[in-house]
Amino acid sequence: MSLHITIVSWNMNGISFLKSEPQKRGLLKARITRQLNDFIHVHRPDLIAIQEIVRYKENGAIQELVEPPDGYFYQSSISIDTARQNNPVKWEPIRQSGKWTSDAYLGQGNGLMWRGDIPHCSIWDWKGEKAQRGERLRQEVIRIDTGLFIGTRDTEPRIAVVSHFIWGARHIFMANLHLTTLSREREGFPERDCLGAEIRGQQLDIVLNGIVSRYNHWCEKDNPIPSDDRPVWFLAGDFNATENSLEIAKIRRLNFLDLCPDKGTGTKRGKKGQKAALTLDYIFAGPAYYAFDPQTVKQVLEETGRPPLYEVTVSDHYPIIAKFPILEKRSTF
């Protein structure tokens, strides 16, 4: 294994695919596949956390928007679909735009792609005794929302998808996230901005306290974990929060490092332009001091500099890239 693990996060904007007319969907899927494969060929990432993927039934078969290239595996987790949350406010406009039949299955959620030679196991196998390679990835899907979905973006179900990989002698956990965004946020209505920040803050409380802390407590229920075995947690995804927001400040305050501190002009295109104008996507690693020496990581980030800006045309978000040093042994804090 390399001394560095390369992680990518990308919101693929799959709803735009579902809204495309049938004669255009095949071409769009080919473009998505080509741009994804080109990106992988250039950067050779180890893990790719994808948000807003879609699954659909067409020509009598269930299909995935994302198809992994040779050497990679892929697994999706659906957070909302027509089988469980078939609210017409959500799905009827999509059916009409995409000319889907009334009984066509449609779903969206998160996906994870990983290099095929990386061992993985259940998060409950915290020592990795049953780790294996292959396409069956045992994940935990945790809901980070509450309440009834009424078809609106404001009430859309959200999930955190947690995966456990073994990198050399180290355990790493990936939490793939897509946090809530409200209608009319960042459009001149402070009340909406405050409510959106409050909801995302609650979702991050679940991730940081109800997942990361709870899991680490569970691992240490009998004996403290040796310092060299403490897991590194990666939080990757579309946080729908700007860099100076209270939500992002909370993550940093709780000893998670932003692995892409310099994102240029942003990670998401504006409504009226093709250039990135807003930062909403992040990759964090933590907990610092507990799982790794933050100064070592910061030094690596300074040496590697700003990751390349990889502009894509199939999504309104750009993929972001991070490298993280995985050290076999480290100092005890």
Which residue type is seen at 189? Answer: F
Report the share of the chain in percent with pLDDT over 70.
Answer: 92
Q: Which of 62-66, 114-118, 183-187, 325-329 has the weakest average pLDDT?
A: 325-329
Domains assigned to the chain: 4-325 (3.60.10.10)
pLDDT of residue 272: 56
Using alpha carbons, select from 11, 37, 36, 15 the residue that is nearest to residue 25. Answer: 15
- Three-state secondary structure of 210-236: HHHHHHHHHHCCCCCCCHHHCCEEEEE
Give the integer Cα–Cα distance in Å for 87 and 85.
6
Nearest 5°: CA angle at 142, between 293 and 257? Answer: 20
Q: pLDDT tens for residues 269-321?
A: 766 556 777 889 999 999 999 999 999 888 877 876 655 556 666 688 889 99
pTM above 0.85, yes or no: yes
Mean pLDDT of 199-208: 97
Q: Which of 28-37, 39-48, 203-212, 312-321 has the weakest average pLDDT?
A: 312-321
Give the integer Cα–Cα distance in Å for 5 and 159.
24
Q: pLDDT tens for residues 138-158?
A: 999 999 987 899 999 999 999
